[in-house]
Amino acid sequence: MSLLIEADREEGYAGWHDVFRQVMPTMDIHWWNDPQVDPQDVEYVFCFDPEPGRLATFPNVRLICAASVGVERIVRDPSWSRSIPLVRMGCQETTAQMADYVAWACLSAHRNLPRILQARVSGQWDKFTPAAVVADRRVGILGMGSLGGAAAEMLTKVGFKTAGWSRTRKSIPGVESFAGPDELDALLRQSDIVVCLMPGTPDTMGILNAERLELLPSGASIINVARSGHVVMPDLIAALESGRLSCAILDVFDKEPLPADSFLWKHPGVLVTSHLASTASQRSRAQYASDIIAAFERGEELPNRYDPEHGY
C-alpha cells in the first residue's frame, strides 16, 4: 500500500513522515512532490489544499483523508472523482479542542471580555455589572455535527442553557434541538450567544445577515469558528455599533492571516483569535488517518465521510 502526503515543502513533509511512520510502520509513505513516486502506485492521499487537477493524476487512489475538518479546498477541484471516498478530519483532539474553545468563548462573551480588554488598553476603570449568570444565558449552536455536538455537551456542563440547530434533529441530553430551515429563526430569537459551527456550503454562506441578526435578543453575542462567509461582516459591524449586539468573537476570516491594518483588530466590540480554535497535533491527525485507512481496508462504514449531495 502507498500513501501520498501533501506538504508545501520537503522540510514540512519530514514531520508528517515521522508521525505516519510511527502509526503505520508497514505503509509505503511518500511526499506529494517526490519525483520517484509512480502515480500508478498511489492508493491513499492525505491532503489539505491540492492544486486543481493534481488528484486526477493518481488513477488508482482508493481513499482521500483530509488533514482538516473543512474540505472545501479539496472538493473545489473538478477533477476529483466523487466515486473516491473523502473523509474529513475527526480526531478526538480536534473535537476536544473545539469544545474547549467554544466554552471559553461563551464565557468570554457572557462576561464581555472585549469590553474588559478595551478598558485595559485605555486605562479606564470600567466596572460594570454582568447582565446575567451562566444558568440564565441561552446559547444557540448553528451546526450540530461532531464538533457542534461536543461543544453543546461541554456548554451544558458549564451550566449554559444550550440549544442546537442542524439539518436533521439531534438527541443530546440537556440540549434543545431545532432542525430545518423553518426552525432557524426560532432558535435565533431565544439565543443570547450564537455559536457558528456550520459546514461551508452554498446554503450556509451569508446565513447570519442583518435580517437574522435583528432576530437576536438585544445585547446578544456572535462567536464564529466555522467559515468567515457565514457572517455578513458589514451587517455584523452595524449591529455592534448600533448596540444591537454586545460583542463578537471571531476565529475565521476571509483573508488569513488577518492583515495587521484590519479594523477588526481595534474594534472595541470584537475579539480576534488567529484561527486557533482547533489545531490538533500531527500525531493525532496521523493516527486518525491510519484508523480510517484500516477501517476502509476492513470494508467498514467510514465516519465523517464527505457527502457531495449535502456539501459536507
Q: Catalytic residue positions?
A: 227, 275
- Radius of gyration of the chain from its Cα atoms, rounded to whole angstroms: 21
Instruction: Give tens-digit pLDDT for 31-67.
Output: 999 999 999 999 999 999 999 999 999 999 999 999 9
Alpha-carbon separation of residue 35 from 31, 44, 143, 248, 281 (angstroms): 9, 17, 42, 47, 28
Alpha-carbon separation of residue 11 from 7, 39, 77, 281, 301 (angstroms): 9, 22, 26, 17, 35
* Region of 294 on the Ramachandran plot (φ > 0 left; ψ -120 to 50 alpha; else beta): alpha
C-alpha cell at 35: 519525483
Q: Is the domain covering 92-272 a CATH 3.40.50.360 domain? A: no
Alpha helix segments (H runs only) across 123-163: 146-158
Predicted confidence at residue 131, as pLDDT, reads 82
Q: Alpha-carbon distance 13 to 3, whole Å?
A: 13
Predicted confidence at residue 226, as pLDDT, reads 98
Predicted confidence at residue 298, as pLDDT, reads 98
Least Cα distance to 193 among 234, 246, 235 occurs for: 246
- Under 8 Å between Cβ of 301 and 52: no
Least Cα distance to 137 among 252, 246, 276 occurs for: 246
Q: What is the mean pLDDT of the chain?
A: 97
- Position 285, amino acid: R
Residues of the chain with CATH 3.40.50.720: 2-91+280-297, 92-272
As averages over each run of 10 residues, the pLDDT of the chain (312 residues) reads 90 94 97 95 97 96 97 92 96 98 99 96 94 96 98 99 98 98 98 98 97 98 98 98 98 98 97 98 98 98 95 91
Predicted confidence at residue 8, as pLDDT, reads 81
Instruction: Give tens-digit pLDDT for 167-189.
Output: 999 999 999 999 999 999 999 99
DSSP assignment of 219-232: TEEEEE-S-GGGB-
Please give the CATH superfamily to which domain 2-91+280-297 belongs: NAD(P)-binding Rossmann-like Domain (3.40.50.720)
Give just the sign of the alpha carbon dihedral 133, 135, 140, 144. Answer: positive
Q: Alpha-carbon distance 263 to 26, whole Å?
A: 51
Q: Alpha-carbon distance 103 to 90, whole Å?
A: 19
Predicted confidence at residue 1, as pLDDT, reads 81
DSSP letter for 3, please: E
C-alpha neighbours within 13 Å on the C-beta side of residue 218:
3
DSSP letter for 48, please: S
